[in-house]
Amino acid sequence: MATSEVDLRRRWSDGRPCHGLWSVLPGAVTGEVLARTGADFVVVDLQHGGVAEAELPGITAAITAAGSVPLVRTRSPLFADVGRPLDLGARGVIVPNVRDADHAREVVSAGRYAPAGGRSIGRLSGGADQPLVIAMVETATALDDLDAVLAVEGLDGVYVGPGDLSLSLGLNGADRRGELRAVLSSIVARAGAAGVPVGVHAYSGEEAAGYAAEGATIVTVANDSLSLGEVMAHHLGVARERSGPAGA
């Protein structure tokens, strides 16, 4: 299990995968439970999750205490939205909606103190002096400029959002899944060739293992909300099946 952003960065640099979980459910207890599974990192989703920014100090502290590395998907790529989670305990950020290499450079600057960047000093809780900064590739423009994005100095990795990327490329239909999968494989291969850590958002261990087999090292294997629903539905079904017909 990785215990700091330094461990993650070193393992990714060595080409070794790190396995993490994605959290959209609020609360420090949620973060602690996920970290106790042995995950190398836990990503707290501020963009689409139910977590409030004020919860971050407690959540990131709970994840850290349980032996995992707290990362945050930021609300947006805006300067303040990148730096704020880092002031509240995150040891790295995954930044959505990055348009191209110039935009990626702005994102990196927002996560680095001077002279490497423009991040303001004023950290409130935990966090890191050299946090991980990972740019999401989920737009056609980012894909078009991928080689330049991969060459951005100070960028710790790229993370592909298949859902938004499929919409941006017009490949969101069920009949286009093969084409989208080929695009995802190409991104993983190109990042690997450039020596840049890469991940693809996944919703199951099987799906994540497929990306890892192709060279992905930022391996998120499950989403807490979806997994909770699936597990509870499974157990409910088993109990009903073994209990026999209602009224028997």
pLDDT for residue 125 = 82
**Ranges of the chain whose pLDDT falls below 50:** 248
pLDDT for residue 117 = 96
pLDDT for residue 118 = 96
Residues with Cβ within 8 Å of residue 147, at least 6 apart in sequence: 190, 194
Q: CATH homologous superfamily for 5-243?
A: Phosphoenolpyruvate-binding domains (3.20.20.60)
pLDDT for residue 32 = 98
Residue-wise pLDDT for 174-194, tens only, equals 899 999 999 999 999 999 999
Task: Give the CB-side neighbour count of residue 208, counting CA atoms within 13 A.
Answer: 20
Closest listed residue to residue 71, CA positions, set 16, 12, 141: 12
pLDDT for residue 246 = 60
pLDDT for residue 1 = 73
| Structural domain spans, the chain | 5-243
First and final C-alpha spacing in the chain? 49
pLDDT for residue 59 = 98
Model pTM score: 0.95
